[in-house]
A and B are shown apart, each in its own frame.
Chain A
Amino acid sequence: MNKINPLFKKELKVVNVGLKSFATDLKQQDIQVIHVDWRPPAGGNERMAKLLNKLK
């Protein structure tokens, strides 16, 4: 934790991956954030992900 503490004393620049609500919360607190619209392959549908893998 000691190593990470200084980070919070600096201005935060956040890259948020996945759920957009995390990015929205930070924006509301005036923290710079870039949102990456990422979803797990096939939206997390394991069956479809398995089929896609077979073709890779």
Chain B
Amino acid sequence: MHLVEKANKEAIERILNAQPTLIGIGIAIEEIPGMDIKTILHAGPPITWDKMSGPLRGAIIGGLIYEGLAKTEAEAIALAESGEIKFDPCHHHNAVGPMAGVVTASMPVWIVENRGYGNKAYCTLNEGLGKVLRYGAYSEDVIERLKWIEKTLAPVLKEALTLAGPIDLKSMIAQVVMMGDEAHNRNKAGTSLFIRELAPHIILTSFANDEKAAVLRFIHSNDHFFLNLSMPACKATLDPAGEVKYSTLVYAMARNGTEFGIRVAGLGDRWFTAPAEIIDGLFFPGFTAEDANPDIGDSVITETTGIGGFAMAAAPAIVQFVGGTPQDAMNFSKTMYEITEAENNAYKIPVLNFRGTATGINLLKVVETGILPIINTGIAHKDPGVGQVGAGLVRPPMKCFEDALEAFVALMEEEGIID
């Protein structure tokens, strides 16, 4: 239908013309629209406390302790149950969060501006792997690390960024895809490029040498540091496409650990949800599939933009972390062209003769072909307080797309565009 095709052309142009740029670091309550001390943001579609999975509950318990709103686990649970705390998706506040995706008022956040369209996106700073808040861990060392991020890491990086000036994340992501990252579960090149960009400016900040050294050591020790930059870059890229009426492009996919949700441009802010899937993956020593929580996190915003699982052919080494073979990685990237509208103008895969990554998931193509987007992802333990137990591959439930198609056709009928 011409109307839908025209809308999709407009939406894909908005995605391809996006210019996500890192412009600074701020504090969540000061920067994120609609944020206050009693609001906790989380990954995925909306969810109430009683339906939250273990890792999301764990991260919220940790968030309440971190904010000083509760002193103990029991106090935090009582407060969460009381109804005094407002739980809201990151996506409703121009933000994204990996895994549990918990953002509280005092947390420092990256500020990314889409210079093509003027919109902004926010994300916290990555804490590292293993026992961390985003995987639902909330022990004393987890809270201490969050405090260090707030008091040292973020201020040092903020000053360094002021000295460095804005950083073009689109160019940086284009480079990391050429260097063997796919910017979701492999961020070695991204983290390295980022530290290379900022190190000269970190040295020139007004902080003590031991603080500067601690910042550089922390980033160096955390291969996933760049994830929390690629994610808001993708969020900032996609949001303008979400405003194109009659477009069937998917502009958000996200999971809260209980449900998977998608949003379609022509259907505005509505979420189409279904129970989150269990991830097929590789587990850390001592853990099995029995320990796994269902799919969780906003990091699937990378796949929605055409990187992550869609760019796995560019990052064959990732199969050692998420499972499968390099040939599988190649096949995943190639298959995604069947369900997308365009080839990316910046993110290109060398081994596919520099073909642009499959970009712009079209709801109609997903339902017609039965091919679901491929996602690579971390696996959280199902119990609060444990942390990450592995990584693997997963797909969204088809029901999200089928329900969205029903709603899209209903909308077109209501508006008298079709019979």
Contacts and interface: CB of A to CB of B under 8 A. Distances in A.
Nearest to B369: A39
Contacts of A51: 367, 405-406, 409
Contacts of B412: 54-55
Nearest to B401: A48
Counting chain A residues whose Cβ lies within 8 A of the other chain, the interface size class is: 10 to 19
A55 B367 contact: no
Interface of A: 39, 41-43, 45, 48, 51-52, 54-56
A52 B1 contact: no
B1 A42 contact: no
Nearest to B335: A37
Interface of B: 1, 4, 364, 367-370, 402, 405-406, 408-409, 412, 418-419
B364 A42 contact: no
Contacts of B370: 39, 42-43
A48 B4 contact: no
Main secondary structure of the interface of A (DSSP, over half): helix
Contacts of A41: 368
A42 B406 CA distance: 13
A42 B339 CA distance: 13
B415 to A, nearest CB: 13
Given A51-B405, A51-B406, A54-B409, A42 B418 contact: no
B369 to A, nearest CB: 7
Nearest to A41: B368
B11 to A, nearest CB: 16
A8 B412 CA distance: 53
